[in-house]
Amino acid sequence: MPLVKLVGWSFGTSGTMCPCMPVIRLARVSLWSSRCSSGALSTGRPVKIASSVCQGCGGRAFFVLVNASGAERECSGCGSRAFIADSEEYWNEESWEDDEPGAAGCPCGSEEFEAAVAFSLADDGSVRWVTIGLQCTKDGFAGVYADWKIDYGPTDRLLTMV
């Protein structure tokens, strides 16, 4: 699988990333596994990647709120909302401190994205890290907009919450 040339990244890095970054360009179909070989998730751990699809209408374009510990998506087609992974558990003012969620935005000004989630897995298959990749529906700009560590178990349910 070819590497993706990333024009910009929310963490200020640019360059060639591994196949799991940005996740959106590689998650067009369904959940699959891969080994991350370089880039931000260079732990050598297996990675599962899944595209976000609206449960209400099957739409793939979203407005996304993000902060350092989570993300919530709103379908641009039907308005259905869903939290990504365990975000709902930390989506409250007490957890935000100085990190209140904000709308994800593209440098072109658009706030509508396709979304995908990469789950970095431990040897036992449990989720250890969640990474949110967004690709602008207007100009195709892609980047990592949020990622956070998972330090509890069991985590199987997270794999379906994209």
Q: How many CA atoms lie within 13 A of 121 on its CB side?
A: 17
| CB-based burial, 103-134: b 16+ in 10 Å, e otherwise | ebbbeeeebbbbbbbbbbbeeeeebbbbbbbb
Interval 43-55 mean pLDDT: 85
Which tokens go with 144?
């990592």
Mean pLDDT score of the chain = 76
Predicted confidence at residue 92, as pLDDT, reads 74
Model pTM score: 0.74
Predicted confidence at residue 69, as pLDDT, reads 78
Q: Whole-angstrom Cα distance, residue 68 to residue 55?
A: 25
Predicted confidence at residue 9, as pLDDT, reads 36
Coil/strand/helix, residue 34: strand
Q: How many CA atoms lie within 13 A of 76 on its CB side?
A: 15
Q: Is the pLDDT of residue 21 over 80?
A: no
Strand partners, 44: none
Q: What is the pLDDT of residues 139-154, one digit of tens each?
A: 998 888 888 899 999 9
Q: What is the pLDDT of residues 99-138, one digit of tens each?
A: 678 899 999 999 999 999 999 999 899 999 999 999 999 9
Q: What is the pLDDT of residues 55-109, one digit of tens each?
A: 999 999 999 998 877 899 999 999 999 999 999 888 876 666 766 788 999 999 9
Predicted confidence at residue 40, as pLDDT, reads 38
